[in-house]
Chains A and B, each alone.
Chain A
Amino acid sequence: MVCSLGIEGSANKIGVGIIRDGEVLANVRRTYITPPGEGFLPNATAKHHREVILTLVQESLKEAKIKPADLDVVCYTKGPGMAPPLLVGAIVARTLALLWEKPLMGVNHCIGHIEMGRHITGAQNPIILYVSGGNTQVIAYSNKKYRIFGETIDIAVGNCLDRFARILKLPNDPSPGYNIEQMAKNGSKYIKLPYVVKGMDVSFSGILSHIEELADPTKNPNKRKKTQEAESPETKPADLCFSLQETIFAMLVEITERAMAHCGSNEVLIVGGVGCNERLQKMMEIMCEERGGKLFATDERYCIDNGLMIAHAGAEMFKSGTRMPFEESFVTQRYRTDEVLVTWRDD
């Protein structure tokens, strides 16, 4: 029996989860929502997290109906992420571990997403598409490491969506990506955008600047005239959202399929905040069907950053004998998925 509490706060979500032997006992979360058109800054995000984190710990214990004494390990996100909000989770986790006299475990955020996805869906050895505000990676497990086969060479897919949502002044509530998805449902006209796949890698920054100009021609005075001539006067935001999704998701499905062909795999697991986009899931499903493969995906409770995934991955590490000296419980902004030795898998 391993009972584990996990704290996640690497970006604008702060969450606490409790899991006991694979059974979800609690998974509570708050999101720092900024005004339309604004992103979240590290120090303001940390302030938000400081204000709610202890309430969330209380809520999770209450929901799980357990006492601190019932826990075996306290886990927190070690990285990657923004340092100030990461530190909030780390300091609370350290203090709790010492107060409750429990071991402390630092968890890689990306590994948390992967293991949570595998646990919830039951996918055994899938190709993993990890898509969020800070990450775009195609990952496959081999020989005790989650290896990155493809990734973005510039900005993350979620960052591309978020920044475009800000250009359109879409609300950040519940998330900019969600509002793009809703808006895209009203679009139908496909507007040609750059499509950039390089091997198994992708690039989004060129697409973003291109679509920014389409949405707001004043952005680039040199091209202003040309753009106005080329585009019909009513380039609707809905069509832009639609076209943006169609283009960047097609790129993601393409590199995922390449990785499947490369590794001879038939399963795909989508994780990360962008992973709950239904259009992306649908496109991936069609690709899988055509190959006789299977898609595994989860809903927003597990896809979007949460404390449960940290609790679960930390529990797996703990069960397989991993221990972290307390002095090493720092946080790190850069922490690659393939740096982690996967001690809990034997395949």
Chain B
Amino acid sequence: MPQISAKPYESTLRLPFDTQGLAEIAYRVLSVDKEPRRNFVQKTLSLELDVLVVHFYADQVKNLRTAISSFFEALLLCQDTIKQFGNAVAVEPAEAQEENNAGAQSSTDSA
């Protein structure tokens, strides 16, 4: 883990997904890649039901910006993949229906 000064620059992103299942997929996909060591940025991901919460700490504003913008690129790609292929389960309509319902349910709960 990089050393961050006592007064870090911070940023928190809260990213809601259609369902808790999809939020979990995004959480797992985006948790794999660590920040490059010389970036001096710490990134932590967590899940609050259907909301993906990402927290950044950085020693410099510039590094914070770099980390966030590359995170957004990965996030958008993951989201687009979900959009295009997430309903591929539509081949088995019953299952897809169920999953959507479950997702809708949990997001209501969290709201």
Interface residues of A (CB under 8 A from B): 46, 50, 53-54, 57-58, 67-69, 87-88, 90-92, 94-96, 98-100, 326-331
Measured between beta carbons, the chain B residues less than 8 angstroms from A69 are 91-92
A98 vs B77: C-alpha distance in the bound complex, in angstroms? Answer: 14
A87 vs B32: C-alpha distance in the bound complex, in angstroms? Answer: 11
Measured between beta carbons, the chain B residues less than 8 angstroms from A329 are 32
* A51 CB → nearest B CB, Å: 10
- Asked whether, in the complex, the Cβ of B32 is within 8 Å of the Cβ of A57, the reply is no
A54 vs B81: C-alpha distance in the bound complex, in angstroms? Answer: 7
- Among A90, A92, A99, find the residue whose CB has the most chain B CB atoms closer than 10 A: A99
- Asked whether, in the complex, the Cβ of B86 is within 8 Å of the Cβ of A99, the reply is yes
* B67 CB → nearest A CB, Å: 14
Measured between beta carbons, the chain B residues less than 8 angstroms from A94 are 28-29, 32, 78
* B17 CB → nearest A CB, Å: 12
* B96 CB → nearest A CB, Å: 11
Measured between beta carbons, the chain A residues less than 8 angstroms from B48 are none
Is B34 close to A, CB under 8 A? yes
A37 vs B80: C-alpha distance in the bound complex, in angstroms? Answer: 33
- Asked whether, in the complex, the Cβ of B32 is within 8 Å of the Cβ of A54, the reply is no
A68 vs B81: C-alpha distance in the bound complex, in angstroms? Answer: 13
A262 vs B83: C-alpha distance in the bound complex, in angstroms? Answer: 54
Measured between beta carbons, the chain B residues less than 8 angstroms from A330 are 32-34
A50-B91 contact given A57-B85, A98-B29, A330-B32, CB 8 Å threshold = no
* A322 CB → nearest B CB, Å: 18
- Asked whether, in the complex, the Cβ of B88 is within 8 Å of the Cβ of A91, the reply is no
* A68 CB → nearest B CB, Å: 5
Is B108 close to A, CB under 8 A? no
B-side interface mostly: helix
Given contacts A50-B77, A95-B78, 12 further A-B contacts (CB under 8 A): A54-B81, A54-B84, A87-B33, A91-B29, A92-B81, A94-B29, A94-B32, A95-B26, A95-B77, A99-B82, A99-B88, A327-B32
Interface residues of B (CB under 8 A from A): 25-26, 28-34, 73-74, 76-78, 80-82, 84-86, 88-89, 91-92
- Asked whether, in the complex, the Cβ of A326 is within 8 Å of the Cβ of B28, the reply is yes
A100-B77 contact given A95-B29, A95-B82, CB 8 Å threshold = no
A58 vs B85: C-alpha distance in the bound complex, in angstroms? Answer: 9
A328 vs B34: C-alpha distance in the bound complex, in angstroms? Answer: 11
Measured between beta carbons, the chain A residues less than 8 angstroms from B30 are 91
- Asked whether, in the complex, the Cβ of B82 is within 8 Å of the Cβ of A54, the reply is no
A88 vs B74: C-alpha distance in the bound complex, in angstroms? Answer: 8
Measured between beta carbons, the chain B residues less than 8 angstroms from A98 are 25, 28-29
A47 vs B73: C-alpha distance in the bound complex, in angstroms? Answer: 9
A69 vs B91: C-alpha distance in the bound complex, in angstroms? Answer: 9
Contact of B77 among A67, A88, A99 (CB under 8 A): A88
* A339 CB → nearest B CB, Å: 20
A98 vs B89: C-alpha distance in the bound complex, in angstroms? Answer: 12
- Asked whether, in the complex, the Cβ of B33 is within 8 Å of the Cβ of A96, the reply is no
Measured between beta carbons, the chain A residues less than 8 angstroms from B29 are 91, 94-95, 98
Measured between beta carbons, the chain A residues less than 8 angstroms from B73 are 46, 50
* A44 CB → nearest B CB, Å: 13
Measured between beta carbons, the chain A residues less than 8 angstroms from B74 are 87, 91
Measured between beta carbons, the chain B residues less than 8 angstroms from A92 are 77, 81
Measured between beta carbons, the chain A residues less than 8 angstroms from B81 are 54, 91-92, 95-96, 99
Chosen A-B contacts, 21 in total, with CB atoms closer than 8 Å, are A50-B77, A58-B84, A67-B88, A68-B85, A90-B32, A91-B78, A92-B77, A94-B28, A94-B32, A95-B25, A95-B82, A96-B81, A98-B25, A99-B25, A99-B85, A99-B86, A99-B89, A100-B85, A326-B28, A327-B31, A330-B33
A22 vs B76: C-alpha distance in the bound complex, in angstroms? Answer: 34
Question: Which 9 residue pairs across A and B have the least CB separation, nearest first?
Answer: A95-B81, A94-B29, A98-B25, A68-B88, A95-B78, A91-B77, A95-B29, A54-B84, A92-B81
Nearest-CB residue, chain B, relative to A53 = B77
Measured between beta carbons, the chain B residues less than 8 angstroms from A54 are 80-81, 84-85
A128 vs B47: C-alpha distance in the bound complex, in angstroms? Answer: 48
A87 vs B30: C-alpha distance in the bound complex, in angstroms? Answer: 11
